[in-house]
């Protein structure tokens, strides 16, 4: 489970769509008080930052649309509360770049 701090335009198809799916999972956990993965470090870092998570979703959707993907899973904007900026990370930006480079995928990092 990962929400990257790398701009969506630099993510390959697999990581762009995978992050979108995982973002929805985190959103449901946080907004519906679900237990699955509630204590995962990636979920924890988004607590109190639903507005920031919503904005990340919007950035992913914008990139998905640019690439011609049909997006049909909007998030309810009224639940986008809390801090609008993510200030913590499970891995630093540099570590995230390194992780993606090691995957030898077409991400532009």
Task: Output the pLDDT for position 66.
Answer: 98
Per-residue CA distances from 83 to 23, 46, 47 (Å): 16, 9, 9
Quote the pLDDT of residue 12.
98
Element (H, E) at 24: helix 13-31
Q: Report which of 94, 80, 100 is spatially closest to residue 2, judged by C-alpha positions.
A: 100
- Give the global pTM: 0.96
**What is the predicted pLDDT for the residue at 54?**
98
Instruction: Please list the pLDDT of the chain residue by residue as tens digits (109 residues).
Output: 899 999 999 999 999 999 999 999 999 999 999 998 999 999 999 999 999 999 999 999 999 999 999 999 999 999 999 999 999 999 999 999 999 999 999 999 9
Determine contact, residues 15/100, Cβ cutoff 8 Å. yes
């Amino acid at each position: 489970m990962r929400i990257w701090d790398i701009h969506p335009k630099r993510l390959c198809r697999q990581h762009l769509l995978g992050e979108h799916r995982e973002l929805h999972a985190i959103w449901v956990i946080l907004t519906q008080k679900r237990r699955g993965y509630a204590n995962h470090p990636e979920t924890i870092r988004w607590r109190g930052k639903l507005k920031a998570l919503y904005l990340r979703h919007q950035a992913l959707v914008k990139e998905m649309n640019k690439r011609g993907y049909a997006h049909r899973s909007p998030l309810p904007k009224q639940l986008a509360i809390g801090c609008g900026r993510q200030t913590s990370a499970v891995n630093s930006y540099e570590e995230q770049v390194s992780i993606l480079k090691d995957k030898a995928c077409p991400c532009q990092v």
